[in-house]
Amino acid sequence: MMNISLVIPLFNEEESLSELCTQIDNVMRQNNFTYEVILIDDGSKDKSWEVIEKITTSNSNVKGIKFRRNYGKSAALNVGFSKVKGEVVITMDGDLQDNPNEIPELYNMIAKEGFDLVSGWKKKRYDPISKTIPTKLFNWAARKASGIYLHDFNCGLKAYKNAVVKCIEVSGEMHRFIPVIAKWAGFSNITEKVVEHQARKYGVTKFGMERFINGFLDLMTITFVSRFGKKPMHFFGVFGTLMFLLGFGVFSYIGGAKLYAMFADIPAKNIAEMSGFYIALTSMIIGAQLFLAGFIAEMISRNSADRNNYQIEKES
């Protein structure tokens, strides 16, 4: 097995690709690494693919994959992970903001120190404050929700054991949460390394402010799926039962008070005129719907193709 597989998703990076591949090749030769570079062109509109074809012609260690249209970073990483052959898999961005000189230490942390995943931490960033403050807020929320204490979940520079990338699936925009997905798959030996963040040399950023909104929504999704994906009834059923019992309790109190007033010949409002009646009725309806949602989700989960797909580490 070769030492390192580099997976590099890219979109409109024609200016940086040749320089990046040259830097990578120099690092690999200096450290006597056997390697492959997989460049995934995520539907670029510029001449990125033409540059990739020239590089693959001159360097047999470089391979290219071109998407028909832009599918997103998660799709590019997932395809790249399916192709890798290296003992250690390293991902990095194609815009030269990640320094290839970080590769040897990342490799050692996986191959020699035994970590499952090493995430880069761009402690000193060359980004505007409009990007750094939302990033810090997002990373804080991700740490609290996942229990994985990384400073930079979204750093593109990461290193993995080959077994990790072969056991996980990255879809949607879940590339931000690969450490969470890896932990969910049983790879909990996760750490981080301070890495250099280089100022952008060519082009412009491909991500806008909407990624932070999408990131928080994805965080909610991955948190729910990781905790309740195999047991949705434990979430919906508990909340549904509590809502129903709350509504039933209020309704019983109102109904009991009305019956007592009737038998005691005490003037009292009609139940239908009481706001509490409608609150109780709404609560019971919502509770029943949540319970049914949990029941249906449980049936779907039990009939899914991967319901018994468990990761076996060793057998003897």
How would you class 280 by CB atoms within 10 Å of its CB: exposed for 0-12, middle for 13-18, buried for 19 or more?
buried
Q: Are 191 and 287 in a shared domain?
A: no
Is the pTM for the entire model greater than 0.85?
Answer: no
- Does 316 reside within a domain? no
Same domain, 31 and 98: yes
Domain end position, chosen among 228, 246, 261 = 228
CATH at 145:
3.90.550.10
DSSP state of 199: P
The DSSP 8-state label assigned to residue 63 in this structure reads E
Of 200, 228, 256, the domain-final residue: 228
For residue 252, the enclosing domain spans: 233-302
66 within a domain of the structure (yes/no): yes
Judgement on whether residues 201 and 250 belong to the same structural domain of the protein: no
Q: Where are the beta strands (DSSP E) in the chain?
A: 4-10, 35-41, 62-66, 88-91, 117-121, 158-161, 190-194
Q: What is the pLDDT along the chain (316 residues), one digit of tens a residue?
A: 799 999 999 999 999 899 999 999 999 999 999 999 999 999 999 999 999 999 999 999 999 999 999 998 999 999 999 999 999 999 999 888 899 999 999 999 999 999 999 999 988 776 666 666 777 787 887 787 778 888 888 888 999 999 999 998 888 778 888 998 898 888 989 999 999 877 666 666 655 556 656 666 677 776 676 666 667 787 888 889 999 999 999 989 888 887 888 788 788 778 777 888 889 999 999 999 998 888 887 777 667 665 555 555 555 5
Q: Is residue 95 part of a domain?
A: yes
Which of 228, 244, 268 is the last residue in one of the domains?
Answer: 228
Instruction: Give the total number of structural domains in the chain.
Output: 2
Shared domain for 271 and 186, answered yes or no, is no
